[in-house]
Amino acid sequence: MELVPRRIVVDCGGSVHAAPLPSGGRASLGVGPLEVEIERGGSGWSWSVGNRGDAPVPVRSVAVVLDVVAVREPLRLFRHGYQSWSPTGVAVLGRDVDPSTRADLPFLQGVHAADDRTVTWPGELRSEWVTLLVDADAGGEPVLVGFTGGDRHDGTFRLRPRGQEGMTELWVEAFLGDALLPAGAGRQLHPVVVGGPGGALELLAAWADVVAAAGGARSTAPRPVGWCSWYHYFGAVTETDVGANLALADRIPGDLFQVDDGFQVEIGDWLATNERFPSGLEGLVERITGAGRRPGLWLAPFLASPASDLATGHPSWLAGGPGTSDREPLLAWWNPAWGGGRDGFMYALDTTNPEVLDHLEGLGASLAGGGFGYLKLDFTFAPACSGRWSDPTRTPAERVRAGFDALRRGAGESTVLVGCGVPLANVVGVADTVRIGPDVAPCWALDPADEIVPGFLGVQPATRHAFANTVTRGFMHRRLWVNDPDCVMVRTEQTSLTPAAAAAWAATVALSGGAVVVSDDLSLVDGGAARLLAEAVALGGRADDAARAGATLEVDGLLDAAVPAVVHGAGATLRIDTTTGRCLGDLPWE
């Protein structure tokens, strides 16, 4: 298998232009109204785009199209997901499909792909930020293609069968999301690296090291260990619940005590608590620190409920809906449990508005100054959604990054910022810890009949879905940030997660070396459950030490199995029945 560069394609607000890519190292090409400069080397290319006209041009994407030649089918693609919850794993060209072809729902598709449009090329498969290709050639090794950054724009890979000349094509696409490029202006695009031959994990680790160096990755933060309220109490958590668990906190390792969704009056009004938290945030901090624990808090900083003081008091801070001229606010998420006056639909803050960035900086300063040294920032894909922004020259990636940068400025360098529901490529160098998979749940797997939106079962909360992303993204830990696989649950009551599956999940989290945060009512954590958790935290510490030295989670069959079932870390091996969640053999501490 070989990748041969053939042409440049630009999409200028729906007007598509192409130009052949000449051989040689450096070229400057006029492609429609744009000028693309590219310099190729043996391991990839650097490139830029400029507007050579006298009027601004909306640039949706700039792509280098590679012919994939000498392929022995089947051709497999490492399909890396866009954000925390987006599934990551292997897909087979000609067998698997892009989920948008089943859903055709841009509202959800924009949450899980840089481009929210339904793909129109028959059989197209997509990956975000990085991909691997491997065919059936005997002894064949994969080829990696990846962007070295993601704070300026996103990067999408489109594998298309039977392209322009009947050849399978890989489109390497710098996605700018219709950002306006002013007349005479230019943009430096993120370089692209091509790696191989080598093993899949070896190539991914080497790519991550390049990205980390380019982006100044914050990969040395402490590994979070402690407690979170969400997976037992969910949005009904009370101050009394927090106090009851603090009284039992000696049952679990770690010092983190993080209160999740449920304390706030409205989404967006983060400094005011509801009637279930009568002591307010100040009282919450006093209670947690008084018990010798470190306070943590959840928030969705880029969303606002229509009923919030934020939205009603500052309507100009809201992004506008796509194609609207009357500034109808952009609907960026829907959660009926949040209410808010529009049946759970939430607005997105306009992170290209300087006043919004001042607000976010002040919010970070208030929470950190008030004693919260750990902030879980959720649903942070919101600024990437298609809409109307006060500065139309900013890309979706830049909008996400601007919000995180503002929060970091306010919260300071010592506050742990956790990115969740976040486009991963956008936050290298600003997030300390990143959720790398979908939500777990007090169950292992879902029935296909539970699928809410066709094609998107894999993003729904289930421990099996979190397991899949933990093993496929394990190489990122201590390279790009500290991995957060999501919480463990060790209770044996009020759960559908079997004791065997709970133990196997705890062992997986441990071998990953990432955060170990338990999310149970601690009154249900008996002696056996407490020992299981202690073993997981201890093994996780050894795995984390190994990751600091460059030895992250190893996976058998990364490019073979839909969900890899055998993982290795810290000198131990874990085999999982991925259908039931049961460990096949001994747990790594037995």
Q: Please compute, for residue 542, the number of CA atoms within 13 A of its CA located in the half-sphere on the CB side.
A: 14
Q: Which two tokens stand for residue 437?
A: 């998979």
Largest pairwise CA distance in the chain: 72
What element of type H or E holds 539?
helix 527-548
Q: Which two tokens stand for residue 317?
A: 């801070």
Positive or negative: CA dihedral 400, 401, 406, 407 = positive
Strands of 554-555's sheet, edge to edge?
554-555, 566-569, 572-577, 582-583
Q: Which two tokens stand for residue 162?
A: 């039977």
Instruction: Quote the CA–CA distance of 427 and 181 in Å, as a whole number.
Output: 23
| Interstrand relation of 294-299 and 256-259 (parallel, antiparallel or unpaired) | parallel
From the list 115, 378, 486, 520, the catalytic residue is: 378
Query: Residue 520 catalytic?
Result: no
Closest CA to 495 of 460, 525, 538: 525
Instruction: Quote the CA–CA distance of 365 and 361 in Å, as a whole number.
Output: 6
Instruction: Quote the CA–CA distance of 176 and 386 in Å, as a whole number.
Output: 11
What element of type H or E holds 355?
helix 354-369
From the list 135, 405, 432, 439, the catalytic residue is: 439
Query: Residue 378 catalytic?
Result: yes
Helices H / strands E in the chain, number of each: 12, 29
What element of type H or E holds 27?
strand 26-31
Instruction: Please identify every residue annotated as catalytic.
Output: 378, 439
